[in-house]
Amino acid sequence: MDHLAGMAVFAKVVEAHSFTAAAEQLGLSKSAVSKQISRLEDRLGIRLLNRTTRRLSLTEAGAAYYERCARIVAEAEEADLVITHLQAEPRGVLLINAPMSFGIAHVAPAIPDFLARYPDLRVDMSLNDRVVDLIDEGFDLAIRIGALADSSLIARRLAESRMVAVAAPDYLQRHGTPERPEDLGRHNCLSYSYIPQERQWRFRTEAGLRPVTVKGSFRANNGDAVRAAAVAGLGIAVLPSFIVGPDIRSGLLVPLLQDRMPLTTIIHAVYPHSRHLTVKVRAFVDFLAERFGPTPPWDDF
């Protein structure tokens, strides 16, 4: 690196025709510039500049060396300009991971508007419900829902979503409407297998959260599959409002025990820790926070 710095100083001295002028342009002292040139000549074992009290001139070797130094310095400056331009406007490929249901219902519909705002970007989105390793698998960011495990990732809160107990009107007509959490023991309860302790649903009481043991004829590891079974009248499900909000608004599902449900689950964007967060990641995270907050559309029922 000292060698490259010496080449840059040498090129500046030649272009400025003066140690003093080069020092001013580089923000260095004249003695620092002189030492850089001397070190460079010592390393090469050849004189590059003829120095007199009146003027500087290039030696034959110095002239040949300057041509190459100037080319290298110009390429380095061009590289800096390219990176600066990349940082000024989002561009390139953005690799995203998102949960299946949330990704399909809310992230994917947002992508066209995002790309219209940033036409030099391309998005590559992977959908699954497992927790991916962002660094090992090469993702720029991921959307995570619920409690976050301790990690070195940076988390940005995007929005929240209510947990809702729901059933189809037809199911409630046939089996009755539960008035208390304890009533769920006589109902067919549909389980989402990624929820911790899926057979124990938790409800708010005056004494805090209370688990209620449930049972039923259907479980799935995808929230949309559980939602479809609930809409078909198979039983009662507890799902996030970002999945069932539209069905509640349309009347396909009826919310139950609303005053007893846990308050919210949090939706985050997570990305690797970096002092220089790429502008494409920052742009997407800001875009989603703006789109989903402060009142998320799925909670409007």
pLDDT tens string 14-54: 888 889 988 998 889 999 999 999 998 998 999 999 887 77
Q: What's the start-to-end Cα distance of the chain, in Å?
A: 62
Instruction: Judge whether residue 107 has pLDDT over 70.
Output: yes
The pLDDT of residue 279 is: 84
Determine the residue type at 113.
D
The pLDDT of residue 275 is: 45
CA separation for the pair 36, 29 (Å, rounded): 11
Instruction: Judge whether residue 1 has pLDDT over 90.
Output: no
Instruction: Judge whether residue 174 has pLDDT over 80.
Output: yes
Among 9-18, 142-151, 208-217, 230-239, name the most confident range: 230-239
Task: Please classify residue 15 by burial: count the beta carbons closer than 10 Å to its beta carbon, then call 0-12 exposed, 13-18 middle and 19+ buried.
Answer: middle
What residue ranges do the domains of the chain occupy? 2-88, 92-159+266-299, 163-260
Is domain 2-88 classified as CATH 1.10.10.10? yes
Superfamily of domain 163-260: Periplasmic binding protein-like II (3.40.190.10)
Instruction: Judge whether residue 185 has pLDDT over 50.
Output: yes
- Say how many C-beta atoms besides its own lie within 10 A of residue 246's C-beta: 17
The pLDDT of residue 86 is: 60
Among 82-86, 113-117, 127-131, 294-298, name the most confident range: 113-117
Determine the residue type at 212.
V
Q: Do domains 2-88 and 92-159+266-299 have the same CATH topology?
A: no
pTM of this prediction?
A: 0.66
CATH topology of domain 92-159+266-299: D-Maltodextrin-Binding Protein; domain 2 (3.40.190)
Among 50-54, 145-149, 210-214, name the most confident range: 210-214
Among 38-47, 133-142, 192-201, 270-279, name the most confident range: 38-47
Q: Which of 106-110, 120-124, 149-153 has the lowest mean pLDDT?
A: 149-153
Judge contact between 184 and 236, C-beta under 8 A.
Answer: yes
The pLDDT of residue 168 is: 97
Q: What is the pLDDT of residues 231-286, one digit of tens each?
A: 999 999 999 999 999 999 999 999 999 888 876 788 999 988 754 567 888 899 99
CA separation for the pair 283, 277 (Å, rounded): 10
Average pLDDT over residues 7-20: 88
Read off the pLDDT band of 119 (50, 70, 90).
very high
CA separation for the pair 14, 34 (Å, rounded): 12
% the chain with pLDDT above 90: 45
Task: Please classify residue 113 by burial: count the beta carbons closer than 10 Å to its beta carbon, then call 0-12 exposed, 13-18 middle and 19+ buried.
Answer: exposed
Q: What is the DSSP letter of 232?
A: T
Averaged pLDDT of the chain = 87
The pLDDT of residue 2 is: 64
Judge contact between 94 and 123, C-beta under 8 A.
Answer: yes
Instruction: Judge whether residue 201 has pLDDT over 70.
Output: yes
Determine the residue type at 42.
D
The pLDDT of residue 259 is: 84
